[in-house]
Structure 1
Amino acid sequence: MAPQPDPPYVRIVTEIRRRIADAELEPGDRVPSTRRIAREWGVALATATKALTVLRQEGLVRAEPRVGTVVAETPPARAGRRPAVEPERELTRERVVRAAIAIADAEGLAALSMRGVAAKLGVSAMSPYRHVSGKDDLVMLMADAAYGEGAYPADVPPGWRPRLELSARLLWALYRRHPWLAQITPLTRPLLLPNLMTHAEWALDALDGYGLDPETMMNLHVLVYSYVQGIAANLEREAQAEAATGLSEEQWMDSQEPALAALAASGDYPTFVRVTRALGGGYDLRLDELFEFGLQPMLDGLAVVVESRAASGTD
């Protein structure tokens, strides 16, 4: 009887393991992403995720947030031996949620699947369903856990402006740590998550006592929140675009040179052409710098509203 072929994920693991052993992939190098593995080997994303999970369990690779999966610095001597599957009785909702967050942080929310979470935890595909009802439920639990990582100080800074600035910076830090988070909280359909409400409570309390009507208080809170979220949404979108096109931001811009030249030659956009040419080496859109650039002017604008209302309330 002919031997049965190895499962697809085993073949993928064997090939990537060989590339590492032969120094085709060196420590710190990115290994193929789940999407690239799925394309190259013609497998489902869940199979690709399982292959990378096995390599992580073996210590050959590690997840680097917003970079992807990279070769570990010091592969173990007995890398070919797979660790024993952890007892499923030790599985908890918190472990399921944390495993899912780790996948989304490293590979984006699109790479998340219940089967992939199970593979990362080393349990059967159906085991996570004992703790969460499905992916939608899991994503909400992930979001609540992520928003809960930001703690406000017990000593409240005086004045509405320092408090709103602190809130904006705390939210930015959370989105920086978990770029997928800005994708799942639509402004017009707010998620009533306990830990997200903590941020709303802080902002509204900061604005309380300045003679503002409830609608104005809510508008100011939403403006601050949407400013941070609006910039942060591009963190994940850039990662998704790079995964879909295989081009870095710089490579993509280089590919747009003919289109930019055509726009310049048309004569219809003289100001745009003049400004971009004056930039010389090009415009590097750095989201951290953009966040800092706009934060104080935004708060200046809010100050006009708050101080005018406060002044009218004392007349």
Structure 2
Amino acid sequence: MTKLGVAVLTGQCVECEADLPGGSGRGRPRRYCSRGCQARAYRRRRDHGPAALSRRVPELPAPSGGDPRDRLVGLAVELADSGGLDAVSMRVLGQRAAMPVHSLYRHVRNRGELLAAMAERITAARMPGDAPSHDDPRHQLEQLARDEWTMYRRHPWLLAVLATDRPPTGPAVLAMVDSFVAAFTSAGYDPAEAFRSYLVLSGYIQGMALLIRRDPTDTTYPAWWSATRIRLERTGRTQRRPWLVAAGQSSPDTALDTWFQFGLRRLLDGLLSGPAR
């Protein structure tokens, strides 16, 4: 329903609490602001039962003072850190910033530009300097890889923004790639080989980052593994698979950093054994 061409608000989304626009007046009342919120609510009911509560985006203080764009990007990072990328919409950002949604577009053209600005902020804060202090290429690469890994550990949502064939190309993101390529170049690779080596190493870092837990409301790994092990044993799939026993003795919650270091050392052993000819 509209009045003088302006949508009449009829309530709030039961998932993220964003304002809901009015409908046609026919059918069931609208409960969700988007299909994404509806899907999250469905998954929660499926995994945790019909009594599961919605995971609403926590109330955050509206930004005040300073550059408006910078404040909006900072608030968007806070939203993503607390609720994942699905929590970052122009509507919710406007609500948290106490700004009309249309006014946000004066500072960021669209959600894609907002996500790129968020990635740029995190990457710029993560960079330890223009280059690692150690002269040895292996030490440089180990430091750079650990820095990128720590970045994903602190901001798991960032992986979806950077792990794409069309990543943001702001100054900080490019500087991060520069540092990796320079280290490989100093190890004897030409520029093309150095970039390919960077892609191999970055692919490993980002692939391991997929194991970082993103939703604290999901079933815990021990609970998942216990149910999975029982099912595998019942179907005979644990026979002649001793690695399954070993897999159940650790979990990503406690061993992920150790797993990452294990693979990183061996990957660098191969990449730095000498440029392929």
What is the TM-score when the length of structure 2 is the normalising length?
0.71
Residue in 1 that maps onto 2:244: 276
Between Structure 1 and Structure 2, whose CA radius of gyration is higher? 1
CA distance in 2: counterparts of 1:209 and 1:96, whole angstroms: 39
CA distance in 2: counterparts of 1:144 and 1:178, whole angstroms: 13
User: CA offset at residue 190 of structure 1?
Assistant: 4.1
Q: 1:297 to 1:124 in 2, by over 3 A?
A: same
User: CA offset at residue 195 of structure 1?
Assistant: 1.1
2:177 to 200, 219, 222: 200
Gaps of 5+ in 2: 1-9, 18-36
1:184 to 155, 158, 161: 161
Counterpart amino acid of residue 140 in structure 1: A
Q: How many residues align?
A: 238
Residue in 2 that maps onto 1:228: 205
**SS of corresponding position for 1:271:** coil
Contact 2:124 2:172 in 1 (8 A): yes
In the TM superposition, what are the counterparts of 1:161-176 in structure 2 within 5 Å? 161-176=138-153
1:291 to 248, 260, 275: 260
CA distance in 2: counterparts of 1:156 and 1:257, whole angstroms: 46
Counterpart amino acid of residue 283 in structure 1: S
User: CA offset at residue 90 of structure 1?
Assistant: 6.3
CA distance in 2: counterparts of 1:36 and 1:254, whole angstroms: 25
Gaps of 5+ in 1: 1-5, 14-32, 58-84, 310-315
User: CA offset at residue 179 of structure 1?
Assistant: 0.8
- Give percent identity, aligned residues only: 26
Residue in 2 that maps onto 1:251: 223
Name whichever structure is richer in helix by fraction: 1
RMSD: 3.6
User: CA offset at residue 256 of structure 1?
Assistant: 2.2
Q: Which moved more, 1:94-103 or 1:155-164?
A: 155-164
Q: 1:131 to 1:153 in 2, by over 3 A?
A: closer
CA distance in 2: counterparts of 1:152 and 1:192, whole angstroms: 19
Residue in 2 that maps onto 1:144: 120
* CA shift digits 1:247-272 (9 cap, x unpaired): 22222223324421234x25xx6432
**SS of corresponding position for 1:179:** coil
CA distance in 2: counterparts of 1:214 and 1:116, whole angstroms: 43
CA distance in 1: counterparts of 2:200 and 2:194, whole angstroms: 10
Q: 1:302 to 1:187 in 2, by over 3 A?
A: farther
CA distance in 2: counterparts of 1:9 and 1:212, whole angstroms: 54
In the TM superposition, what are the counterparts of 1:210-225 in structure 2 within 5 Å? 210-225=187-202
CA distance in 2: counterparts of 1:209 and 1:283, whole angstroms: 38
CA distance in 2: counterparts of 1:278 and 1:194, whole angstroms: 43
Q: 1:298 to 1:114 in 2, by over 3 A?
A: same
CA distance in 1: counterparts of 2:214 and 2:126, whole angstroms: 23
In the TM superposition, what are the counterparts of 1:1-315 in structure 2 within 5 Å? 7-8=11-12, 48-49=56-57, 52-53=58-59, 56-57=60-61, 92-153=68-129, 156-235=133-212, 238-240=213-215, 243=217, 246-263=218-235, 265=236, 270-272=239-241, 274-277=242-245, 282-285=249-252, 286-306=255-275
Q: 1:217 to 1:8 in 2, by over 3 A?
A: closer
Residue in 2 that maps onto 1:61: none
